[in-house]
Amino acid sequence: MVQPKNADSKIFSQLRIANGDIKLNHRIILAPLTRNRNVPCIPKDPLEPVRTWCPDEVVVEYYRQRTTEGGLLVSEGINPNQQGGGMPGTPGLWLPEHIAGWKKVVDAVHAKGGYIYCQLWHQGRTTIEHMTGMCTVSPSGVAWNDPEELYPYPVKGCRGEGESLKLADYTSIEMTVDMIKDTISDFCEAARRAVEECGFDGVEVHGANGYLPEQFLSDNTNLRTDHYGGTPQKACNFSLELMEGLAGTVGQQKVAIRLSPFGMYNQIRGTKRMETFTHLCRQLKSRLPNMSYASFIEPRYEQVFSANEKDAFLRSWGLASVDLSIFRKILGSTPFLTAGGWNDTNVRGLVESSQYDAVVMGRWFTSNPDLPQRLLEGRPLRQYERERFYGPFQDRERGYTDYDPWCQNES
């Protein structure tokens, strides 16, 4: 359907992020999207299996296509270290090949006048040792609570080659305090490489969707009783120390965080959501007052359950009509981004509502590399192909870089 033109919409007005250092020309932001299209980094020891991947020209082209003058892209999740990764086709940022690949991506985005943040993503308990070659770590050694759920990729280079393994058979180990400090230090070193060596405009911590920081925030995955768990306040300490560490490394105006206070992905079933996330936001506001932005996933957005099932969960928590406004209020002038379920119709009026400063879009940006232009002109959006989202694929370009910009004859 052709929508009305949106030129007068505030979504096409300027927005300053990074404590005013970056002036965006519009407020439609490419979401961090795992697409598993990176190429193997060949290990020095030929007997070692491939455990990490890096961007090549196809990946560069994907980001280039989605760049607009003064627009912001967030990279796919990039692992700060080997222990936090291992998913086929997803990249890291510790090898020279990673750095060289990401520098090419950043240069291509900058050449078109765009901005790009590096999303730092540690999988914690959601990876398995067969993929990383290391033990799997998380706040506590809690077994995967679905005994039948399989790690979604066949393992390589070890016994059971080609098989899918049950996550519950490979429970992560509880991080010692030294491991926590080392992990934060790996994040900081990755952030330094991102900004200083690759030229990224900032870094975004993946604090959502059941990955390591959210595993600390959630009382079903964090059973600790030390400084890092036991109360909603202590459960925030990992994320807060991480954010402070990053701010000390690259400057707080270059540091952002993505959160999903009502998420359930990766078996997150926290029971103290409001207490935990309001404390986290209050502390972030006081410790990093010049943080670049905060990016939130909408309460009703859901990757696994149906809308009705999600509503039932929200009702059972006494949060039937919850929205993100409490976090908006706490964070005040920090740019506030929303993601989850936005499209060409409901995006209109989003900034005018004063609830949000910008929208983060993923699925529609995948099949419409010229999404901001299409929204500006009220052009129809091309349907996305969900089965081409997550690779790896032999034909990497399909469903990735082969979507043309809008043309008159588009069906």
Q: Which residues have CB under 8 Å from 6's CB, separation 6+?
A: 12, 348, 375, 376, 377, 378
**Is 170 one of the catalytic residues?**
no
Q: How far is the CB of 63 from ligand PHB (least distance, A)?
A: 17
The reply to whether 391 sits near ligand PHB by the rule CB under 6 A is no
Spell out a b/e string for 28-44, using b for 16 or more CB atoms within 10 Å of the CB, else e.
bbbbbbbbbbbbebeee
Residue length of the chain? 411
In whole angstroms, give the CA distance from residue 356 to residue 408.
33
User: Least separation, in Å, of the C-beta of 247 and ligand PHB?
Assistant: 23
Q: State which residue, 123 or 276, has the beta carbon closest to ligand PHB.
A: 123
| Residue among 210 and 335 whose Cβ is closer to ligand PHB | 210
Q: How far is the CB of 260 from ligand PHB (least distance, A)?
A: 8
- Annotated catalytic residue: which of 115, 117, 153, 211? 211
What does residue 342 show for φ and ψ, rounded to 5 degrees?
-85, 145
Which residues, 6 or more positions from 286, have their beta carbon under 8 angstroms from its beta carbon? Answer: none
| Minimal distance, residue 119 CB to ligand PHB, in Å | 9
Q: What is the DSSP string of 70-81?
A: T-EEEEEEEBSS
Q: Residues near 221 by Cβ (< 8 Å), separated by ≥ 6?
A: 125, 138, 139, 140, 142, 210, 214, 215, 267, 268
In the list 3, 34, 171, 290, the residue contacting ligand PHB (rule: CB under 6 A) is 34
Complex with ligand PHB: residue 210 or 369, whichever CB lies closer: 210
- Interaction mask 253-272, ligand PHB, x per CB under 6 A: ------------x-------
Alpha carbon distance 397, 45 (integer Å): 29
Residue 209 binding ligand PHB, by CB under 6 A: yes
Binding test (CB under 6 A) with ligand PHB, winner from 55, 71, 77, 80: 77
Nearer to ligand PHB, 77 or 92 (CB): 77
Binding site for ligand PHB (CB under 6 A): 34, 77, 209, 265, 390
Q: Which residues are catalytic?
A: 211
